[in-house]
Structure 1
Amino acid sequence: MLVEAAQSYTCGKPSYKSKALKSRQNGNPTDIIAYADKANERLRRRYYQLILGQHKKANVAKTAVAKELACFIWGMMTDNIH
């Protein structure tokens, strides 16, 4: 499931939030939203760094992003979002 979620970082516009996402985020604490935005930006940047900068295969890059995504999820679960 993490790899499938990581695949979503391969497409789309960076820093773009759809109306549906904005409505889902409405009412949540601002520090949680900022943490999620930080994770989104870092994981997208990491994917393209691996693909374009280090010439890794797409599946290798997606797996690496999935690993970092797991770390962000763990940070959110343990209230370590600084």
Structure 2
Amino acid sequence: MATVQERIQKYKTAPFDARFPNTNQTRNCYQNYLDFYRCQKALSSAGKDVALCNWFHRVYKSICPMSWVNRWDEQRESRTFAGKI
């Protein structure tokens, strides 16, 4: 059985997510963006390795338009991002 790190390394594209069965993947994109930063925040505050969060990063990078990601990053930096991280 492959470890989580091995699975992340073999990752090619976003897998099917039953929470988002439709072809419109906007919510999937947004949710994985939030999950990545929530994961980083939770693991870093617990003093644990944040490498497991890379799964969410790779998923949102593969399905989100970069213009959205750039805008969300800017909003997070300016503390105007609407999502709860």
User: Does TM, normalized by the shorter one, top 0.5?
Assistant: no
Greater helix share, structure number: 1
TM-score (norm. length: structure 1): 0.34
Q: Which is bigger in relative contact order (C-alpha 8 A, separation at least 6)?
A: 1
TM-score (norm. length: structure 2): 0.33
